[in-house]
Structure 1
Amino acid sequence: MAEGDAGSDQRQNEEIEAMAAIYGEEWCVIDDCAKIFCIRISDDIDDPKWTLCLQVMLPNEYPGTAPPIYQLNAPWLQGQERADLSNSLEEIYIQNIGESILYLWVEKIRDVLIQKSQMTEPGPDVKKKTEEEDIECEDDLILACQPENPVKALDFDVSENRTELEIEELPPIDLPITDRRSTFQAHLAPVVCPKQVKMVLAKLYENKKIASATHNIYAYRIYCEDKQTFLQDCEDDGETAAGGRLLHLMEILNVRNVMVVVSRWYGGILLGPDRFKHINNCARNILVEKNYTSSPEESSKTLGKNKKVRKDKKRSEH
């Protein structure tokens, strides 16, 4: 495989894992080998009035030089409304050529559905057809920067019973994810400079449980206001490629001035690619809980302006 193809394949895999972590059951794999996926998008998850099924196929050239091949499935989507939505998706691609755009596409469609829901109510026949379309669409294949006292901001306590970093009040803590005796736990702290990243790691390692983890994978993104770009980095800590995948998730969610560390305690059974899913799910949950995720509009404005600094990665097959 050519070096360029290998790079595109890795970026696609990272994006797929990130999308699965972000959207959960809404994200459906139709053909993993052909990179064909489907996602159900609704105006409201709990009480959907309008729903659309977006199917995408990722060509080998995506995201470098080619867009995803897509199909919009909804019985109510016709004529000018379909054309306007297609134009919006294509405009997003043009504005972000070379970048991963599936998240931006999904959230743009969701915005359109929300606006439609606010303007009108679907009739019972339309709603029924839309729900049927949701079920059927999975079987279809595609044809076609500094605070006043940054040190004080990091004045948190880590104990044996509280493995999540806390900044002010203790929020509800997500339970660790356990799979085949491996356990995954995320930690989060705000950071505005690389020095604080080292401070966070030092504080975490004061906790014996965290220090004993098989891997402590981390990534951070710091927004540089003067240059309007991001300073970011990641570390696998022996879990090959996990840091890069975690950073990619944070890029897609367009988080800023935050560091996420995911600890993994290896249970003796190899998990294969599932380990990346658990790492991303842990990270996504804590970022959402702490309100670090941004709107799609903000993501579109800053996507592609990232300054990346990668470290050497240790090797592991856990």
Structure 2
Amino acid sequence: MAASSPEAAQQQIDEIEALSSIYGEDWCVVDEDEKIYCIKIGDCLDQPKWTLCLQVILPPGYPTSEPPVYQLNAPWLRGQDYTELANSLEEIYIQNLGESILYLWVEKIREVLVEKAQSSNSEPDIKKTTEEVDEDCGNDFLLDYQPVQEDPVEILNYITSESQEVDEELPMIHHGTPLTDRRSTFQAHLAPVVTPRQVKRVLEKLYENKKIASATHNIYAYRIYCEDKHTFLQDCEDDGETAAGGRLLHLMQILNVQNVLVVVSRWYGGILLGPDRFKHINNCARNILVEYNYVHSVEESSKPAGKNKKIRKDNKKRTEH
């Protein structure tokens, strides 16, 4: 990986500020420290039919000497559609070596979505997808159910209720080092999981702890790889901290971890932290994943694949005081 230069660092800052201004709420900071961002793109502003989430990691050498690491997420994006779009982004990068290209990428993706929306009888093929079972970048479920319970444990009841199997063994639960900022405390918890039932059992066990149960928010996300179907089962929960679960799941996808549940507890201390709370949540999560050898570093988990670096294509399932 190329070393960062003052020029590259300033160009990154300028580009991020511009993109944040241009795209507003559609622009999401997943992890500021690791330069991980996501933008939701649609074929139109009001009730888009075709949407896609572009996730990027900006390495130290971008844009002067390194390309962004990227991931394309959409339930309909696979096969030839994915290949053609990836090739288009590759071509834009090559044609603009050394320059900031994220805006060009976003608008190219939007152009593709508009073309699909204008095509006759063209609808997103969501139900036929065999990719990951999860949420899109927004709040709409791709599955046919919408959990209404507020208790995070209850969200998994639908998944596990149809199976009357004997409860599986409770996985080992690990606890990370607490982090405190302006009287708010954050702590991550991690457990290896291979079934939704195990996720439910771990959450129930955690909530038996009075301190954890009393947390203002218990944000969680999990990713389970299904060997037989070659797909991922994954989901997340904000527990009242709007968008925190989705950002945590974004981080876990980009780190490409699997068969693991991460819960981050936050005890609110009475002082608003603003965007820093998301940074603390993801930092706690990343630290515990590193500590228990699910990932060594962001850089190592996103090695180059071809001329331009890509992360595996994952189609995602799915207030502060």
Q: TM-score, normalised by structure 1?
A: 0.51
Matched, 1:40 2:34: no
Separation of aligned partners in 2, 1:306 and 1:272: 29
Aligned with 2:219 (options 217, 220, 224): 217
How many Å separate the matches in 2 of 1:307 and 1:63?
A: 6
1:17 partnered with 2:26 = no
AA aligned opposite 1:198: K
1:27-79 C-alpha deviation (Å, 9 max, x unpaired): 9xxxxxxxxx96436xxxxxxxxxx86487x9xxx9887849999xxxxxxxx
When Rg is computed on C-alpha atoms for both structures, the one with the higher figure is 1
Instruction: Map 1:282-301 to 2 at 5 A.
Output: 282-293=284-295, 295-296=301-302
Shift of 1:11: 6.4
* Local SS of the residue matching 1:304: coil
AA partner of residue 237 (structure 1): D
Q: What residue is the counterpart of 1:317 in the other structure?
A: 320
Per-residue deviation, 1:152: 3.7
Q: Is the Cα contact below 8 Å between 1:54 and 1:70 reproduced in 2? A: no
Runs of 4+ in 1 over 6 A off after TM superposition: 62-66, 68-71, 298-302
Q: How many residues align?
A: 198
Counterpart code for 1:259: L
* Conserved 8 A contact 2:212-2:265: yes
Specify whether residues 233 and 269 from structure 1 end up closer, same or farther in structure 2 by C-alpha distance, changes over 3 A only. Answer: same
Higher relative contact order (Cα pairs below 8 Å, separated by 6+ residues): 2
Give 1:303's match in structure 2, choosing from 287, 308, 312. 312
Alpha-carbon distance change, 240 to 303 in structure 1, aligned in 2, over 3 angstroms: same
- Any idea what SS the aligned residue of 1:317 has? coil
Q: Show the counterpart of 1:244.
A: 246
**RMSD of the alignment, in Å?**
4.6
**After superposition, what is the alpha-carbon deviation per residue over 1:185-208, rounded to whole angstroms, capped at 9, x for unaligned?**
000001111111110001101111
CA distance in 2, matches of 1:267, 1:67: 44
- Distance in 2, matches of 1:301 and 1:287, equals 21
Structure 1 residue 303: Cα displacement: 2.2
Q: Using the alignment, how far apart are the partners of 1:227 and 1:11 within structure 2? A: 32
> 1:256 aligns to what SS in structure 2?
coil
Write the deviation string for residues 80-106 of structure 1: whole angstroms up to 9, x where unpaired.
xxx8xx6xxx9xxx9xx97xxxxxxxx
Report the residue type matching 1:317 in the other structure.
E
1:184 pairs with 177, 183, 186, which one?
A: 186
Name the CA shift for 1:23/1:9 in 2 (closer, same or farther; >3 Å): closer
Q: Where in structure 2 are there 5+ consecutive unaligned residues?
A: 1-19, 38-56, 75-84, 110-165
Q: Is the 8 A contact 2:35 2:58 kept in 1?
A: no
Percent identical: 59
Whether the 8 Å CA contact 1:21–1:280 is kept in 2: the answer is: no
Please state whether the residue corresponding to 1:201 is helix, strand or coil. Answer: helix
Partner residue in 2 for 1:262: 264
Q: Contact 1:187–1:262 at 8 Å: present in 2 too? A: yes
What's the counterpart of residue 197 of structure 1? 199
TM-score (norm 2): 0.50
Give the letter aligned to residue 40 of structure 1. Answer: P
Instruction: Identify, as 1 or 2, the structure richer in helix.
Output: 1
| 1:146-197 CA-partner distances (Å, limit 9, x unpaired) | xxx994461x4xxxxxxxx33xxxxxx6531111110000000011111111
Are residues 196 and 249 of structure 1, via their aligned partners in 2, closer, same or farther at CA, if it must alter by over 3 Å? same
Contact 2:217 2:266 (C-alpha < 8 Å) held by counterparts: yes
